[in-house]
Every structure is written in structure tokens, then in C-alpha cells.
Amino acid sequence: MALLRAHKIQQLQFWFAAGAGKLEAESFVFTDVKGKPLKPYTVSQAWRRVVEAKNLPRVTFHALRHTHASILINGGVDILTISRRIGHSKPSVTFDVYGHLVGGADAAAANAIAKLLKAVN
């Protein structure tokens, strides 16, 4: 978060120096010089350069999105929240792509009902 805040400050300084005025609160953190969202190819190309320069395993930038979603699912975050975070149009899209990772949900539901029923008896 500290790095993102520092980047945002640097971006604001650039905008003020360029005479572009104040950015909207909802503005993108990573933009081109006109304040427009970066094109996916530009991000992928920059990522590829960093990976090569740092001698990291060759993983696409898009794979980070899948890793993020997978970690959230493994952490028990609900599909609706994950869908919103990764920008899918509908939670059903997220479930279609990542549904195979939602293991143990049925067992957790059964345990929750069992606990509730024991508490009632």
C-alpha cells in the first residue's frame, strides 16, 4: 500500500506540473500521460521487461489475476466479492472460471447446519 500511495503522490505531482489540474478521487492509479487507463499490451510489455530484468520465472501479468482470485477463493472469500474485485460482469462468469477451486464449500455448509441443529436441540 505504501508503494501505491507513493505512486499516487508522484502521479499527482506530475499532473500539477503539467498543468492538468486536479484528478478526480476515482481516477485510475496507473494511467498514460493523458490520464487514460493503460492499454493491456502496455502493462504486459512492462511486466515482461521487469520479469526478464529481475530474472524471475516467466509468468504472464494476466496469470497474477488468476493467482489473486485463487488465493481469495482458498481464503474463503465469496464469489460475489471476488467477481467485483477482478472486474467480471457477473459472478457467474467468475464461478465458471474458478468454480473448480471452490472445494469444501459443501462440507462447510453441512458443518454449519449441524452446529445450528445441535444448538437448537
Q: Quote the pLDDT of residue 31.
A: 82
Sequence-distant (≥ 6) Cβ neighbours of residue 48 within 8 angstroms: 61
DSSP 25: T
Q: How many CB atoms lie within 10 A of CB 35?
A: 14
Residue 19's pLDDT is what?
Answer: 79
Neighbours of 82 (CB within 10 A): 21
Average pLDDT of the chain? 86
Query: CA dihedral in degrees (95, 72, 69, 60; nearest 10)?
Result: -160
The pLDDT assigned to 105 comes to 67
For the entire predicted model, the pTM comes to 0.61
Whole-angstrom distance, CA of residue 70 vs CA of residue 48: 22
* Confidence band for 1, pLDDT divided at 50, 70 and 90: confident
- Residue 85, classed as helix, strand or coil, is helix
115 pLDDT higher than 80: yes
> Greater confidence, 105 or 54?
54
Place of cell 502496455: 42
Question: Contact at 8 Å (CB) between 91 and 83?
Answer: yes
Q: Where are the domains of the chain?
A: 61-121
